Amino acid sequence: MIVTSENQSPRPVLQSLLKTLFDITLLRKGPEDLPGSFVSLAMIIVLWLFSGLAGVVLIERFSEADFVLGLFSGMVGILCFAAVVVLSGHPARLLQTISAIIGCGSLISIAVVAEYVLIKSFLGVQPAGIIATLIVFWSVPVKGHIIARAIERHWYLGIVIAIVVFGLQLVVVGAMGAEA
């Protein structure tokens, strides 16, 4: 758990938060290792917005509409995961779980952008896109791991929940993308 004091500067707190999110993304820790604070959630939301904007700026095929669509799709997923946590009887874990889901998703998004920009130069757009898609798919086991730890269930159930939510998000993106 990240512990802060009044005299501690924001830099070590942010570094500790990012390290914990990285460890959760690699399935070494769980959402319970994050602080249950709105300040941490606010920092994570800024990271989420940064990751989306980085995609718009650095990947030429992404637009502002894609950014908004990604935010909306992300909110749909967050609401689904929040409902699972609350309905499973663990509302006290909601803030940490949502922080973990948003934060790890942000790190994965940053990895996608970095990979795409670097690999595209060497191998071309199509291979970079395939690798980026594989990195995005990593979000499913990560979110499954997070939700399973949050509701104290086997990780298989967490993976199933994450797959269902991912599928729902794809449907939402498809439906909204068709209207645009």
Tens of pLDDT along 120-140? Answer: 988 988 999 899 999 999 999
Contact 143, 81 (CB under 8 A): yes
Closest listed residue to residue 55, CA positions, set 113, 105, 104, 102: 113
Separation between Cα atoms, residue 77 and residue 156, nearest integer Å: 18
- In the predicted model, is pLDDT for residue 155 greater than 50? yes
- Per the model's pLDDT, the better-predicted residue between 63 and 130 turns out to be 130
- Our measurement of the distance from residue 75's CA atom to the centroid of its chain's CA atoms, rounded to an integer in Å, reads 11
Residue 6 pLDDT: 52
The token duo for 150 is 């949050």
Neighbours of 155 (CB within 10 A): 15
- In the predicted model, is pLDDT for residue 2 greater than 60? no
Does the predicted TM-score (pTM) go above 0.85? yes
pLDDT band at residue 66 using 50, 70 and 90 as cut-offs: confident
Closest listed residue to residue 120, CA positions, set 110, 131, 109: 131
Residue 7 pLDDT: 55
1 sits in which H/E element:
none
Mean pLDDT, rounded, of the chain? 91
